[in-house]
Chain A
């Protein structure tokens, strides 16, 4: 029997599409339970207020309202606070401050949208009417909103017990060595920047359905999560005090996450707890305006950075100081984002020998900030790649050549950076060269002249990014403060008639795991893809799982599947040896066939599977029936995807409008399973990066109102904003996982903002503009042009 054709490396069309294209996807809001109640959450309209009396009867009087619960009710039941999963230890060993975060506010509200009460009713409309009617006494108090103000003396305090609003003050790298490098520098390039606050905006709003079964005291939470096991663990152990074996968490089809659906949110705990309280299932779905106020935001850094270079452009040292906004409470992974996911990436693709970074994390009266696509790595890339490009301008060097000069060389891997990470492999010049070629950089001057002839300004910008993905070796993560291991689990189960069910701890919310994972399984086990089912997102079916974020699914989750497959093959060899009456050592396995070396005796995988379940003559003391293996895979290192992005923009100096004319992305993701899906991930990532660079930014008024609270005010990238990209891949396979894969989910969002902003600055250079903030809206660009004109009045004449 011939094995099916290999699929890995080919663009197999997605199997999951069929249900999504016909309206048969099953998202959390599509689920309804008999006798369910609907929940509406009452949210604080104030950024900071003392919470007075909550007049429950005012809501209970609304027809259809069944119950109202507040923070006091949860506290009376001993419900705990939402925990943070990563403890950062600051300078001099001072641990970060972890103020309590009750699911429903107690005594005080700390951001617009803070959750105050829940109203349960027979219908969604009645619940909302009840929430509207609920009378609450607020005593509004001064709020601190902006990072620059949060650390100032006399600033309003977000938490009484957190002095000066400082969550932690942390550093990494060798300060003395860095100072010394600056001491001998021929040139220092300096930069101040803001990394704009973003609102993730997965198109599916968060939702949750809580159920309680008094028959066995068990709970089921269906939720829009990227990691149902993590939610179960956090909710059971820290918030509701429930035994994990009595709690099932299901994350069915999830409509995009981008980090925002990693975290354990208040609503999940409230609907689960309240379901037992009232003895009825409880359903909640966020309105978009709630998503804006309560999904964790991303980025929000203020940074100064300096690069020391010698006279010929060799990097000598890098110094970075960053303020990071945590928002009002510490969300699940918030503390790790501006530290271990940020400052550890500041070496970039370069041999900079000395680096020192300081990060101060501050609380403000704003929505909590946590991981959003890229999480820390876009912020690091933006600092470094803007700084390098500025250095090239100052030294009048070609930005590509300055980078090339400082790249870590292929023969230097594994490469230990001065900021903790050890890169396993890479070839940075290869992706730079391919990107230069694909973008037709050599003819840029002609295109610039053509733009000028039309009265437009053309610029080109680079970004050579690196990211640490496939989080993470548990030992390393643990040493750095992670309170969880970051392995992944998988189970590969042959069914008696030869089909395969694979249970993975990764979660697919757009990534196409049902296709890519099936490709790996089909190729390695020699079964057709159609006979492979990928199951994810249910704590009752999956052995365990840490979930999907940080571009880890293939590198860690896929590797766990590969390990389980190895065990299946080992077991298959034992069965084959018995069936074929040969020594186990003589059995060879290839493409779904077990054979005795040097003979024509063989059995197919399907025959082995059948025998495993119909073991009529198995020596049961030596050979167990069944063909079902599981594996936990803990990676040996992070993976290090890297690449070069080159952007060309055309700016209209009259209006400040920026047109992205050409965008080239060359990425090294190691081994690629499905190029179509990988390209799709990069396309989506770049769109989010372009959103950050040109359109998106959360705006708070000085008193803490979220001004960008809907799609009317927050500019999302639409089809017209996005150019057609040019793509290619280079490949240095990851050296330490069985697939050679590095991960591709975040690269686009990490690499693109500096390329776009650098291109705009390059375009506006002739007008005397030397910086531009994100988002580079037409107004911001026009303003920068006007400011430059004012400042160089004579030159502009």
Chain B
């Protein structure tokens, strides 16, 4: 059984037809070919798959595509403004907040969500706020620095 769905992804209206069990991340990666959103686990623990749906961060491995029918979804591909990186992306580059890059899309989307809801986070807030995102490469210290700088950039509307 296929169910037709439509949503807005990175500002573009999209539609498709999915099996009921299709996850949002599968719809994004396999039907829309937006492969920036990653899958790192099967227990909703790693956060590699985080996207923003209707203003809140969502683990897209844990949402069914049909649940997001009619939603506004932003993925990592939709964050930059043309060639200008979003302040959070810029801050990750400035502070070496990524190594292999696999956790990065989810990490950046979680960080954007965190700062959207707490514009001036402390280190402690950031470490707590990223509890749902695993990174095996960086040891997090530079991610924390990046998110702090990214928050500053988001507040001032500048690159990090």
Interface positions of B from 111 to 160, Cβ below 8 Å from A: 123, 126-128, 130-131, 133-144
Complexed CA–CA distance, A289 and B102 (Å): 18
Cβ of A76 within 8 Å of any chain B Cβ, yes or no, is no
A-B contact pairs, 14 of them (CB 8 A): A17-B93, A17-B98, A21-B85, A22-B79, A25-B102, A27-B102, A30-B29, A254-B100, A255-B102, A256-B99, A680-B99, A684-B136, A716-B134, A719-B131
Contact B141 A724 (CB under 8 A): yes
Inter-chain contacts of A677 with B (CB < 8 A): 96
Q: Which residues of A from 672 to 690 have beta carbons under 8 Å from B?
A: 676-677, 679-680, 683-688
Complex-state Cα separation, A202 to B123, whole angstroms: 25
Query: A202 to B77, Cβ gap below 8 A?
Result: no
Closest 3 CB pairs of A and B: A23-B36, A255-B102, A20-B101
B60 located at the interface, meaning its Cβ lies under 8 Å from any Cβ of chain A in the complex: no
**What is the chain A residue whose CB lies nearest that of B90?**
A21
In the complex, A509 Cα to B137 Cα: how many Å? 10
Bound complex: CA A287 to CA B43 (Å) = 10
List the A side residues contacting B40 at CB < 8 Å. Answer: 203-205, 255, 288
Residue of A nearest to B80 (CB): A22
Q: Which of B41, B89, B128, B131 contacts A21 (CB 8 A)?
A: B89
Chain A residues with Cβ below 8 Å from B17 are: none
Q: Which of A255, A686, A712, A716 contacts B101 (CB 8 A)?
A: A255
**A792 interface contact, C-beta 8 A:** no
Q: Which residues of A are at the interface with B, using a C-beta cutoff of 8 A?
A: 13-14, 16-27, 29-30, 32, 125, 201-205, 253-256, 258, 285, 287-289, 509-512, 676-677, 679-680, 683-688, 710-712, 716-720, 722, 724-725, 748
A19 to B92, CA, bound (A): 12
Is B42 a contact partner of A288 (Cβ separation < 8 A)?
yes
Checking B39, B100, B105, B143 against A202 with a beta-carbon cut-off of 8 angstroms, the contacting residue is: B100
Find out whether the CB atom of A18 lies under 8 angstroms from the CB atom of B35.
no
Q: How far is the CA of A479 from the CA of B79 in the complex (A)?
A: 54
- B36 to A256, Cβ gap below 8 A? no
Q: Is the CB of A204 within 8 A of B102?
A: yes
Given known A-B contacts A22-B89, A27-B38, A203-B134, A14 and B104 have beta carbons under 8 A apart? no
User: How far is it, in angstroms, between the C-alpha of A509 and the C-alpha of B144 when the chains are bound?
Assistant: 21
B43:A288 contact, CB within 8 angstroms: yes
Q: Are A22 and B36 in contact (CB under 8 A)?
A: yes
Contact of B46 among A254, A711, A720 (CB under 8 A): A711
Q: Give the nearest-CB partner of A508 in chain B.
A: B100
B108: interface (CB < 8 Å): yes
The docked-state distance in angstroms from the alpha carbon of A255 to that of B46 is 13
Q: Once the chains bind, are B96 and A509 in contact (CB under 8 Å)?
A: no
Contact check, B38 vs A287: say whether CB atoms are below 8 A apart.
no
Q: Are A202 and B128 closer than 8 Å at their CB atoms?
A: no
Query: Is there contact, CB below 8 Å, between B35 and A23?
Result: yes
Query: Which chain A positions have C-beta within 8 A of B46?
Result: 203, 288, 711
Q: For residue A201, which residue of chain B has the nearest CB?
A: B136
CB–CB A510/B100 < 8 A: yes
Distance of A26 Cα from B100 Cα, bound (Å): 11
In addition to A285-B39, A710-B43, A719-B126, 19 A-B residue pairs with Cβ atoms within 8 Å of each other are A17-B98, A19-B101, A22-B77, A23-B105, A27-B102, A203-B100, A203-B136, A205-B40, A254-B100, A255-B100, A256-B137, A676-B96, A680-B142, A683-B138, A683-B139, A684-B99, A719-B130, A722-B140, A724-B123
The smallest beta-carbon distance between A311 and chain B, in angstroms, is 42
CB-CB < 8 A to A512: which residues of B? 99
Q: B76 and A22: CB pair below 8 A?
A: yes
Which residues on the B side are within 8 Å of A680 (C-beta)? 96, 99, 137-139, 142
In the complex where A202-B100, A255-B38 touch, is A510 in contact with B93 (Cβ < 8 A)?
no
A21 to B98, CA, bound (A): 9
A23 touching B100, Cβ below 8 Å: no
Task: Report chain B residues within 8 Å CB of A27.
Answer: 35, 38, 102
Interface residue ranges of B16-52 to A (CB < 8 Å): 19, 21, 29-30, 34-43, 45-46, 48
A748 nearest CB across to chain B (Å) = 8
- Contacts of B35 on A, CB cut-off 8 Å? 23, 26-27, 29-30
B65 interface residue, CB < 8 Å from A?
A: no
Give the total of B residues in contact with A, Cβ under 8 Å.
Answer: 55
Contacts of A32 in B (CB 8 A): 30
Task: Give the Cβ gap from B71 to chain A, nearest Cβ, in Å.
Answer: 19
| Inter-chain contact B92/A17, CB cutoff 8 Å | yes
Q: What's the minimum C-beta distance from A488 to chain B, rounded to whole angstroms?
A: 21
Instruction: Please tell me if B57 contacts chain A, counting CB pairs below 8 Å.
Output: no
Cα of A664 to Cα of B138 in the assembled complex, Å: 17
Nearest B residue to A200 via CB reads B136
Other-chain residue from A14, A125, A203 in contact with B96 (beta carbon distance below 8 A): A14
Any A CB within 8 A of the CB of B73: no
CB nearest to A254 among chain B residues: B100
Q: Which of A26, A255, A685, A710 is the one whose CB lies under 8 Å from B41?
A: A710
Chain B residues whose C-beta falls within 8 Å of the C-beta of A510 in the assembled complex: 99-101, 137
Q: Taking CB as reference atom, which chain A residue is nearest B78? A: A23
Q: Please report the C-alpha to C-alpha distance between residue A719 and residue B130 in the assembled complex, in whole angstroms.
A: 7
> Which of the residues A201, A676, A688, A719 comes within 8 Å of B144, measured between beta carbons?
A719
Assembly CA distance A362 to B48 (angstroms): 37
Q: Shortest distance in angstroms between B83's beta carbon and chain A's nearest beta carbon?
A: 10
Are B137 and A684 in contact, CB atoms less than 8 angstroms apart? Answer: yes
* Shortest distance between the CB of A198 and any CB in chain B (Å): 12
- Interface contact B100-A722, CB-CB below 8 Å: no
CA distance A24 to B39 in the complex (A): 15
With A21-B108, A256-B102, A719-B131 as contacts: A125 and B38 at CB distance below 8 Å? no
Complex Cα gap A125–B21 (Å): 9
Q: Is the CB of A688 within 8 A of B41?
A: no
Question: Cβ of A712 and Cβ of B77 under 8 Å apart?
Answer: no
Give the most central of A205, A253, A254: most B CB within 10 Å: A205
CA distance A720 to B124 in the complex (A): 8
Contacts of A683 in B (CB 8 A): 138-142
**CB nearest to A255 among chain B residues:** B102
Residue of B35, B80, B105 with highest tally of chain A CB at under 10 A: B35
A26 vs B29: C-alpha distance in the bound complex, in angstroms? 12
Select the residue from B21, B89, B93, B101 with max chain A CB neighbours within 10 A: B101
A411 CB → nearest B CB, Å: 36
Chain B, residue nearest A718 (CB):
B131
The reply to whether the CB of B103 lies closer than 8 angstroms to some CB of chain A is yes
List, in ascending order, chain A residues with CB within 8 A of B42's CB.
287-289, 710
Task: Tell me if A203 and B140 are in contact (CB < 8 A).
Answer: no
The chain B residue sitting closest to A680, CB to CB, is B96
Q: What 1/0 mask marks residues of chain B from 45 to 70 whose CB sits below 8 Å from any chain A CB?
A: 11010000000000000000000000
